[in-house]
């Protein structure tokens, strides 16, 4: 017997009424079932709230910015707001022969369309072994970022 999304949600609701599940457990099941319909744009942090750097940022400035903001991963964006790459401050800190050129520390970045499902984004991030994706619109302009942490929080948040 195969149960669809709505069937699973009804079973969870019935189980809660019967005392087999708590309200939190039922809400988590509903969130998991509905997660495939959540879009990257529903979970992303908008660009206006994202701390970004440009490809010419000196590593000393990057370290100062990280200390000031508490951010440890920075999207590198071009002048026309295209996501170019990602820099993890830990890579700079662990380098004994610290380069002053940011390019020595850039990593590839996963690019997610704003309408891409959050489920697909988290799968792509896991496959790439990365924790942050840039969210873009149809014109390839950066709209914001989404992290694995944001996706998991959305997945398990209670109703």
Rounded (10°) CA dihedral 25, 26, 32, 37: -150
Predicted confidence (pLDDT) per residue in 98-138, tens digit: 878 888 899 999 999 999 999 899 999 999 999 999 999 99
Q: Do 14 and 79 sit in the same domain of this protein?
A: no
Query: Is the pLDDT score of 70 beyond 90?
Result: yes
SS (H, E, C) the chain: CCCCHHHHHHHHHHHHHHCCCCHHHHHHHHHHHHHHHCEHHHHCEEHHHCCCECCCCCHHHHHHHHHHHCCCEEEEECCCCCEEEEEEHHHHHHCCCCCCCHHHHEECCEEEECCCEHHHHHHHHHHHCCCEEEEECCCCCEEEEEEHHHHHHHHHCCC
CATH number where 90 lies: 3.10.580.10
Q: Do 127 and 50 sit in the same domain of this protein?
A: yes
Q: Provide the pLDDT for residue 20.
A: 82
Q: How many domains does the chain have?
A: 2
Query: Domain range spanning residue 146?
Result: 40-156
Predicted confidence (pLDDT) per residue in 2-17, tens digit: 567 667 667 767 877 8
Q: Provide the pLDDT for residue 91.
A: 93
Pull the structure tokens for residue 159: 């109703």
pTM of the predicted protein model: 0.77
- What is the arithmetic mean of pLDDT over 81-95? 91
Mean pLDDT of the residues in the chain: 86
Q: Do 145 and 95 sit in the same domain of this protein?
A: yes
Q: Do 27 and 51 sit in the same domain of this protein?
A: no
């Amino acid at each position: 017997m195969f149960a669809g999304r709505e069937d699973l949600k009804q079973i969870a609701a019935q189980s809660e009424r019967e005392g087999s599940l708590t309200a939190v457990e039922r809400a988590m099941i509903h969130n998991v079932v509905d997660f495939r319909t959540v879009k990257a744009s529903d979970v992303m942090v908008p660009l206006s709230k994202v701390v970004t750097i440009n490809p010419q940022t000196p590593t000393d400035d990057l370290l100062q910015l990280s200390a000031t903001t508490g951010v440890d991963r920075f999207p590198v964006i071009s002048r026309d707001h295209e996501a170019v790459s990602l820099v993890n401050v830990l890579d700079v800190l662990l380098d004994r022969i610290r380069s002053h050129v940011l390019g020595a520390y850039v990593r590839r970045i996963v690019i997610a369309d704003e309408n891409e499902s959050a489920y697909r984004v988290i799968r792509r991030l896991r496959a790439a072994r990365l924790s942050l994706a840039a969210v873009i619109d149809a014109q390839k302009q950066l709209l914001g970022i989404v992290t694995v942490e944001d996706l998991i929080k959305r997945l398990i948040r209670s109703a």
